[in-house]
Protein backbone atom coordinates (compact mmCIF):
# COMPACT_ATOMS: atom_id res chain seq x y z
CA UNK A 1 0.00 0.00 0.00
CA UNK A 2 1.41 3.36 -1.06
CA UNK A 3 1.55 6.15 1.53
CA UNK A 4 1.25 9.75 0.36
CA UNK A 5 2.50 12.75 2.30
CA UNK A 6 0.02 15.26 3.69
CA UNK A 7 1.49 18.00 1.48
CA UNK A 8 0.91 15.87 -1.60
CA UNK A 9 -2.67 15.10 -0.52
CA UNK A 10 -3.35 18.81 0.11
CA UNK A 11 -2.02 19.74 -3.32
CA UNK A 12 -4.21 17.12 -5.01
CA UNK A 13 -7.27 18.16 -2.97
CA UNK A 14 -6.65 21.81 -3.84
CA UNK A 15 -6.72 20.87 -7.51
CA UNK A 16 -10.09 19.11 -7.06
CA UNK A 17 -11.76 21.99 -5.19
CA UNK A 18 -12.74 25.44 -6.51
CA UNK A 19 -11.42 27.56 -8.14
CA UNK A 20 -9.35 24.90 -9.99
CA UNK A 21 -12.02 22.16 -9.87
CA UNK A 22 -10.24 19.61 -12.02
CA UNK A 23 -12.16 16.39 -12.51
CA UNK A 24 -11.16 13.26 -10.62
CA UNK A 25 -10.66 11.44 -13.93
CA UNK A 26 -8.11 14.05 -15.12
CA UNK A 27 -6.15 13.83 -11.88
CA UNK A 28 -6.32 10.02 -11.91
CA UNK A 29 -4.85 9.86 -15.44
CA UNK A 30 -2.15 12.37 -14.52
CA UNK A 31 -1.09 10.88 -11.17
CA UNK A 32 -2.13 7.23 -11.39
CA UNK A 33 -3.92 7.37 -8.04
CA UNK A 34 -7.11 5.30 -7.88
CA UNK A 35 -10.41 7.12 -8.35
CA UNK A 36 -11.80 5.84 -5.05
CA UNK A 37 -8.78 7.20 -3.19
CA UNK A 38 -9.24 10.62 -4.80
CA UNK A 39 -12.97 10.62 -4.05
CA UNK A 40 -12.35 9.71 -0.41
CA UNK A 41 -9.71 12.45 -0.03
CA UNK A 42 -12.12 15.00 -1.49
CA UNK A 43 -15.00 13.81 0.70
CA UNK A 44 -12.86 14.04 3.85
CA UNK A 45 -11.72 17.53 2.85
CA UNK A 46 -15.28 18.72 2.24
CA UNK A 47 -16.81 17.05 5.30
CA UNK A 48 -14.32 17.93 7.99
CA UNK A 49 -11.84 20.29 6.46
CA UNK A 50 -11.46 23.99 6.64
CA UNK A 51 -11.40 26.09 3.48
CA UNK A 52 -7.89 27.20 4.40
CA UNK A 53 -4.84 25.05 5.10
CA UNK A 54 -4.17 26.64 8.48
CA UNK A 55 -7.38 26.53 10.53
CA UNK A 56 -5.95 28.92 13.13
CA UNK A 57 -6.45 31.94 10.86
CA UNK A 58 -9.68 33.84 11.66
CA UNK A 59 -12.17 34.28 8.80
CA UNK A 60 -11.63 38.05 8.79
CA UNK A 61 -8.00 37.49 7.75
CA UNK A 62 -8.76 35.09 4.89
CA UNK A 63 -7.70 36.02 1.40
CA UNK A 64 -10.28 37.10 -1.15
CA UNK A 65 -9.60 33.90 -3.08
CA UNK A 66 -10.44 31.77 -0.03
CA UNK A 67 -13.61 33.75 0.60
CA UNK A 68 -14.58 33.27 -3.03
CA UNK A 69 -14.03 29.51 -2.68
CA UNK A 70 -16.37 29.51 0.31
CA UNK A 71 -18.95 31.40 -1.77
CA UNK A 72 -18.67 28.77 -4.50
CA UNK A 73 -19.06 25.96 -1.98
CA UNK A 74 -22.14 27.57 -0.42
CA UNK A 75 -23.81 28.89 -3.57
CA UNK A 76 -26.24 26.00 -3.92
CA UNK A 77 -26.94 25.42 -0.22
CA UNK A 78 -30.31 26.20 1.31
CA UNK A 79 -30.64 28.12 4.58
CA UNK A 80 -30.42 25.05 6.83
CA UNK A 81 -27.43 23.57 4.98
CA UNK A 82 -25.70 26.96 5.00
CA UNK A 83 -26.14 27.23 8.77
CA UNK A 84 -24.72 23.74 9.23
CA UNK A 85 -21.79 24.57 6.94
CA UNK A 86 -21.04 27.73 8.91
CA UNK A 87 -21.17 25.93 12.27
CA UNK A 88 -18.78 23.25 11.06
CA UNK A 89 -16.23 25.83 9.88
CA UNK A 90 -16.60 28.47 12.58
CA UNK A 91 -18.21 31.06 10.33
CA UNK A 92 -21.30 33.23 10.55
CA UNK A 93 -23.99 33.33 7.88
CA UNK A 94 -23.68 37.13 7.92
CA UNK A 95 -20.01 36.90 6.94
CA UNK A 96 -20.85 34.83 3.89
CA UNK A 97 -23.64 37.26 2.98
CA UNK A 98 -21.20 40.20 3.24
CA UNK A 99 -18.68 38.37 1.08
CA UNK A 100 -21.41 37.67 -1.48
CA UNK A 101 -22.40 41.36 -1.57
CA UNK A 102 -18.75 42.34 -2.03
CA UNK A 103 -18.29 39.79 -4.81
CA UNK A 104 -21.43 40.91 -6.63
CA UNK A 105 -20.35 44.52 -6.33
CA UNK A 106 -17.00 43.57 -7.84
CA UNK A 107 -15.04 44.87 -4.92
CA UNK A 108 -11.68 43.49 -3.91
CA UNK A 109 -12.22 44.60 -0.32
CA UNK A 110 -14.86 43.66 2.17
CA UNK A 111 -17.80 45.96 2.64
CA UNK A 112 -17.27 48.73 5.19
CA UNK A 113 -17.08 47.50 8.73
CA UNK A 114 -18.89 49.25 11.58
CA UNK A 115 -16.04 51.64 12.46
CA UNK A 116 -15.46 52.64 8.83
CA UNK A 117 -19.20 53.16 8.30
CA UNK A 118 -19.36 55.47 11.36
CA UNK A 119 -16.33 57.41 10.14
CA UNK A 120 -17.89 57.71 6.68
CA UNK A 121 -21.15 59.04 8.17
CA UNK A 122 -19.26 61.58 10.31
CA UNK A 123 -17.33 62.82 7.28
CA UNK A 124 -20.59 63.06 5.34
CA UNK A 125 -22.17 65.19 8.12
CA UNK A 126 -19.08 67.41 8.31
CA UNK A 127 -19.10 67.86 4.53
CA UNK A 128 -22.80 68.79 4.60
CA UNK A 129 -22.19 71.37 7.37
CA UNK A 130 -19.26 72.89 5.47
CA UNK A 131 -21.33 73.15 2.29
CA UNK A 132 -24.14 74.84 4.23
CA UNK A 133 -21.69 77.36 5.72
CA UNK A 134 -20.16 78.01 2.30
CA UNK A 135 -23.62 78.73 0.80
CA UNK A 136 -24.37 81.14 3.67
CA UNK A 137 -21.09 82.98 3.15
CA UNK A 138 -21.60 83.15 -0.60
CA UNK A 139 -25.05 84.72 -0.04
CA UNK A 140 -23.58 87.26 2.39
CA UNK A 141 -20.81 88.11 -0.06
CA UNK A 142 -23.30 88.53 -2.91
CA UNK A 143 -25.46 90.81 -0.71
CA UNK A 144 -22.43 92.92 0.26
CA UNK A 145 -21.39 93.23 -3.37
CA UNK A 146 -24.93 94.33 -4.34
CA UNK A 147 -24.97 96.96 -1.57
CA UNK A 148 -21.61 98.34 -2.75
CA UNK A 149 -22.87 98.60 -6.32
CA UNK A 150 -26.04 100.38 -5.15
CA UNK A 151 -23.99 102.75 -3.01
CA UNK A 152 -21.78 103.69 -5.96
CA UNK A 153 -24.83 104.23 -8.17
CA UNK A 154 -26.49 106.38 -5.50
CA UNK A 155 -23.33 108.47 -5.16
CA UNK A 156 -23.12 108.85 -8.92
CA UNK A 157 -26.74 110.00 -9.13
CA UNK A 158 -27.04 112.22 -6.04
CA UNK A 159 -23.42 112.90 -5.25
CA UNK A 160 -21.84 112.71 -1.84
CA UNK A 161 -24.20 113.08 1.12
CA UNK A 162 -21.69 115.42 2.81
CA UNK A 163 -22.59 118.38 0.52
CA UNK A 164 -25.71 119.24 2.52
Q: What is the pLDDT of residues 112-123, one digit of tens each?
A: 678 888 999 999
Q: Mapping DSSP to helix (H, G, I), strand (E, B) and coil, where does residue 65 land?
A: helix
- What pLDDT score does 19 carry? 59
Q: What distance in Å separates the CA atoms of residue 162 and residue 107, rounded to the nearest whole number?
A: 71
Work out the average pLDDT over 92-121. Answer: 79
- What pLDDT score does 72 carry? 87
Work out the average pLDDT over 21-42. Answer: 87
Q: What distance in Å separates the CA atoms of residue 21 and residue 45, rounded to the nearest whole number?
A: 14
42-46, 52-56, 131-135: which is most confident: 131-135
Q: Write the pLDDT tens digit of every residue in 60-79.
A: 777 777 888 888 888 888 99
Helix residue ranges per DSSP H, 17-113 = 24-31, 35-48, 64-74, 79-89, 93-105
Work out the average pLDDT over 20-32. Answer: 84
How far is C-alpha 92 from the geometric centre of its chain's CA atoms?
A: 15
Name the pLDDT band for 47 (thresholds 50, 70, 90). Answer: low
Q: Is the pLDDT of residue 105 over 80?
A: no
> Of 155 and 105, which is predicted with more confidence?
155
Give the residue among 25, 128, 16, 143 at the shortest CA–CA distance from 69.
16
Amino acid sequence: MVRYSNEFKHSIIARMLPPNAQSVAEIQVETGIANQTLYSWRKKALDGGKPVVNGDIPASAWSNETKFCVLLETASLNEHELSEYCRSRGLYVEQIQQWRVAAVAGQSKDVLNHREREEFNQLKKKNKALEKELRRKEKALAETAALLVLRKKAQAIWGDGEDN
